[in-house]
Amino acid sequence: MGGAEEKYVKEAFDTNWIAPLGNNVNEFENQVKEFTGTKAACALSSGTGGIHIALDLLDVGQGDFVFCSSLTFIASANPILYLGAEPVFIDSDLDSWNMSPVALKKAFEDYASKGQLPKAVVIVNLYGQSAKMDELMAICDEYGVAVVEDAAESLGSRYKGKMSGTFGKFGIYSFNGNKIITTSGGGMIVSDDEEMIQKALKKATQSRDQAVHYQHSEVGYNYRLSNISAGIGRGQMEVLEKRVEQKRAIFDRYVEALDHIDGIEFMPELENTLHNRWLSTLTVDSEKLGVTAAEIIEKLAKLNVEARPVWKPMHMQPLFAECDYYSEEQDNSKYLFETGICLPSDTKMTAEDQESVIERIREKIHG
């Protein structure tokens, strides 16, 4: 916590606005709009709910296809199934670890030849790194397909001077407990289309029609953020840029200590972008190091250092075994999963804490 959160939560109690509306919700939405430069925002109970609503508003439904990044957390893809549609997974490139323009183009050409263009494309900004939005947006625009930008992990990142999450028809942020800022649990959907965000607000509040009585003409959801949680968000927004600085400093210390080791390669930062470095991640070459990523993670765990694998790609998940997948010449998503490690990246770590982690990593690599 940054320190101001308790003041805004107390305001919710003092004014007796506890429900999913109130001044904290309004002000939190205004903070996110101002920070990102978007025209409209709707605070929600989760980022997953934001993706769900975005796809619903794009008329995704039974029998439709949605292209989606494969190297991501399952929350990027589950809402496709909620709506009865079928995901088609797209490989990553090694420059960004995000959706490959080459693989996306292959998927579009193949599905266009079958007369089955997707209803939407979900592009994920993995671990805080923006995808190659210029190339990806150009392909989607060529085929007239809307983009939902899953920026759950990338609030505070920039791509060519523009905020992550502001390129697609909709952008989605997450404020889950592990994100760069948190409301305990929560999310936000943003767009420059103010009318669509009004529709998102209606969807998020059970699609209640304008009437004295309770009347409903379409399916809705219970996805609004509480005024208490939004109070936490208001305080967190005040320290967001500091959090980005801290995350980047953590990453820089890892690079300074480990990047010289032959066989270690850190997640890149695209030119003309600012990566918020939500998690510090790297890949290991087992032939050069004589140890695999999984073995390093296991050995560190025995020393009470929690490192984790990179997300297991969606096309490798049992749930999606029957879904189409388009890769580059090699399966980059699979390669990154098998060789990638997420290092401890908590902003509460002191420099001394991190140095202890680094020493243990060195021991396990060289030992």
CATH of the domain at 10: 3.40.640.10
Domain boundary among 204, 237, 270: 237
- Closest of 149, 117, 154, 119 to residue 136, by C-alpha: 149
| 89 lies in the same domain as 152 | yes
Structural domain count of the chain: 2
Same domain, 220 and 357: no
Residues 93 and 151 in one domain: yes
Range of the domain at 61: 5-237
**What is the spatial distance between Cα 362 and Cα 43, in angstroms, rounded to a whole number?**
43
What is the reported pLDDT for 211? 86
Q: Where are the beta strands (DSSP E) in 170-294?
A: 170-174, 187-191, 264-266, 273-274, 280-284
Does 233 lie in the same domain as 269? no
Helix, strand or coil, per DSSP, at residue 297: helix
Do 138 and 97 belong together in one domain?
yes
Same domain, 168 and 278: no
Q: Which of 178, 204, 237 is the last residue of a domain?
A: 237
pLDDT, residue 195, reads: 97
Both 155 and 245 in a single domain? no
DSSP, collapsed to helix, strand or coil, labels residue 299 as helix
Same domain, 245 and 313: yes
pTM: 0.94
As annotated, the active-site residues are 179
The count of other CB atoms within 10 Å of the CB of residue 292 is 16
Give the model's pLDDT for residue 177: 87
Look at the block and give the residue holding tokens 């609503």: 53
CA distance 139 to 104: 8
Q: Beta-carbon neighbour count of residue 265 at 10 Å?
A: 15
281/254 same-domain check: yes
- The CATH number of whichever domain residue 249 belongs to comes to 3.90.1150.10
Per-residue pLDDT of the chain (367 residues; tens, 9 = 90+): 888 889 988 999 999 888 888 999 999 999 999 999 999 999 999 999 999 999 999 999 999 999 999 999 999 999 999 999 999 999 999 999 999 999 999 999 999 999 999 999 999 999 999 999 999 999 999 999 999 999 999 999 999 999 999 999 999 999 998 899 899 999 999 999 999 999 999 999 988 888 889 988 889 999 999 999 999 999 999 999 999 999 999 999 999 999 999 999 999 999 999 999 999 999 999 999 999 999 999 999 998 899 999 999 999 999 999 999 999 999 999 999 999 999 999 998 899 999 999 998 888 777 5
Distance, C-alpha 297 to centroid of its chain? 23
198: number of CA atoms within 13 Å, CB side? 5
Same domain, 110 and 255: no
User: CA separation (Å) from 27 to 82, 108, 153, 250, 363?
Assistant: 31, 40, 22, 31, 48
Whether 118 contacts 64, CB under 8 Å? yes
Per-residue pLDDT at 367 = 59
User: Which stretches does DSSP call E strand in 202-268?
Assistant: 264-266
Same domain for 67 and 195: yes
Residues 228 and 255 in one domain: no
Domain finish residue from 199, 218, 237: 237
